[in-house]
Amino acid sequence: MSNFSKYNPLVYTVKGLCRVCYTCVRECPVKAIKIINGQAEIIDERCIACGNCVIVCSQGAKTYYSSIEKVENILSNNRQKILCVAPSFAAEFSVIDDYKIFVGMAKVLGFDLVTEVSFGADLVAQAYKNVFENEKIKSVITSDCPAIVNYIKQYHPELVEFLAPIVSPAIAIAKVLKEKYGEDSQLVFVGPCVAKKAESNSFDENLTFSELRIMFENHKIGSENVEKLEFDKPISGQGAFFPVNHGLLKSIDKTEGFGNGEVITAEGKTKFREAIQEFENGVLKNQHLELLCCDGCIEGPGMSVKGGKLVKRMKISEYVKSKLNNLDEKEWEREKKEYSDIDLSRTFTANDQRLPEPSIEEIETVLVSMGKIQDKDMLNCGACGYETCKAYASAVVEGLAETEMCLPYAIEKLHKSNEELHLSNKQLSDTKSALKQSEKLASMGQLSAGIAHELNNPLGIITLYSSILKDELSAKSEIFGDIEIINEQAARCKTIVEGLLNFARKNKVNLKEVNIVDFIKKSFKSFVKPDNIDLEFNCELDNTIVSIDSEQMMQAITNIEKNAVDAMPNGGKLSVNIKDKGDDFIIEITDTGEGIAKENLEKIFTPFFTTKSMNKGTGLGLPLVYGIIKMHKGKINVKSNNDLKQGSLGTTFIITLPK
């Protein structure tokens, strides 16, 4: 028999296949699974080998130790080889109408003898009957299911003394076969149970029905053309009822209580735990417990046929009825008597695997870290694999779970990360745009300075002589109007050149402390406000003293305010709001004008770009504003809407400056 340990586990995770769905965590009755590096790893020392995780894992990430290779080695030697078949074989190989065909297949595989474990169940049933009828024994817990035994030893060690001191049917038949066929015989158990592989060293190796099927397939052994053979002795009787609910009582041929105690049966991962808990709490006084970890052995993890529990029960019943109808009762009774003196006693040692109970403070700390503060935050959705949020938080404290296992928390965290990523992307995009604009403005500044210097002198001469000609000509002269146009356009060109020079020269600021409230109010006097436009000003700063270059900043603010007025030819409202932002302050200048088209928003800070008529704009105002703000180590953003379907029309310039 294989020796199992942390380095040679009975049940384990196939790394890479686990999709971390937490189904195995949810189904494990003892929470012997820990999420490590994105994989649901089984904690060997806590595992009771029930195999629930193997049953529920749709990815095949949970599996158990395969005994096929070792059994193949056994079959290849010259010693007598005996296959001991658990009574649930009738449910596993239900398509085989005659059990004798199954026996024939096993012998073709290489076994010399094929016997039934149910004879061991017959002997064990008599031992239980003696215990149940003993007036001195008030309560006992059946010990034929190794997963139940493991559970009590590891998680209810105080109840070990109540475990029936009786071997399981498998161990009982092993003792019988060793006595009947010799100690040198090699025994192989086959059944639906994974925990049987580690139950005792009574067998040389243990197979599951799934593994036996694989061996049949590997050797191309089918039910066709196989000799029908009877099970080898000893023959069995009612012990074949063992794998179903109330199987022990049926094997004893009793359905009511014994002595002072009534036998209560429970099967399945939830019901058996509830029964044990009530037994420990004293609710079930003077009661005997017949427990199965699975929903009957016919639902064990070593069964290859999943589901159809009622059909499986029917197949077991049909097999047992057929068996009992043809049973040689005299021979059966004789063999039971022959082996009645075999020692079926057994002792158990506690193996406490309980973890220290986390404190309320530790649990609350974990819950708060996941945003679970009030009762309404405790969704108890079970997505993490734990029944309640508090149970999950306890598992986190115990090191069995991670905070990322909470689906609502993970989704909220993902949304937050997405928002932060979106904000980072926006900031990066804004920074790239600002850098691109700065590079463009720097190049334009150099170009503007060169152009301005080259044009300044010729423009001065044109302006001078056009003015002289205008003064010398009579207003009635035919060319007076032409000279006047030349003079006006030369003056306009001079204004543009001055703008270019200003744009090129803005490369440093002279910071001084200024009262921003007085500063903004002063800016309102720098432009002509039509009567149909309302002004609104609001300041939220506690300390209104800021450091700016008042001359340059006045030029920037009034430029935006003038543009706002120009955008509202039919009237509207111009609002200036100053807000606090930690070490910065924000100036928001909003108009209710016609708005800026989306396709123009990216161009408004480009030199010489303007949507105004030829004589009203040079396209240098906003680039100049942009440069001034950047020299103050600030930021300027624009929000605008020119589509009524999208909401109110208007534009807002948002200027962020250090205090």
Percent of the chain with pLDDT over 70: 90
Q: Which CATH architecture has domain 422-505?
A: Orthogonal Bundle (1.10)
Q: Which two tokens stand for residue 421?
A: 């990523």
Give the Cα separation of 315 and 90 in Å (integer). Answer: 6
Query: pLDDT band at residue 217, thresholds of 50, 70 and 90?
Result: very high
Residue 582: how many CB atoms within 10 A of its CB?
7
Least Cα distance to 16 among 33, 34, 40, 32 occurs for 40
pLDDT of residue 136: 85
Tens of pLDDT, residue by residue over 503-519, are 555 556 788 999 999 99
Give the Cα separation of 80 and 107 in Å (integer). Answer: 12
Fold of domain 1-65: Alpha-Beta Plaits (3.30.70)
Q: Which residue would you say has higher pLDDT here, 53 or 464?
A: 53
pLDDT of residue 354: 94
Q: Which two tokens stand for residue 329?
A: 């009762």
Give the Cα separation of 379 and 532 in Å (integer). Answer: 57
If you search the block for the tokens 């309560």, which residue do you land on? Answer: 139
Q: 567 — alpha (psi -120 to 50), left (phi > 0) or beta?
A: alpha
* pLDDT at residue 264 tops 50: yes
Percent of the chain with pLDDT over 90: 49
Give the Cα separation of 58 and 594 in Å (integer). Answer: 61
* pLDDT at residue 48 tops 90: yes
The highest-level CATH class for domain 506-659 is alpha beta
Q: 512 — alpha (psi -120 to 50), left (phi > 0) or beta?
A: beta
Tens of pLDDT, residue by residue over 81-130, are 999 999 999 999 988 989 999 999 999 999 999 999 999 999 999 999 88
**Could you state, in order of their start, the residue ranges of all structural domains in the chain?**
1-65, 66-298+308-338, 363-405, 422-505, 506-659
Half-sphere exposure of 151 toward its Cβ, with a 13 Å CA cutoff? 29
Task: Identify whether the C-beta of residue 119 lies closer than 8 Å to the C-beta of residue 234.
Answer: yes
If you search the block for the tokens 């000799």, which residue do you land on? Answer: 227
* pLDDT at residue 622 tops 90: no
Residue 513: how many CB atoms within 10 A of its CB?
9
Tens of pLDDT, residue by residue over 347-365, are 999 999 999 999 999 999 9
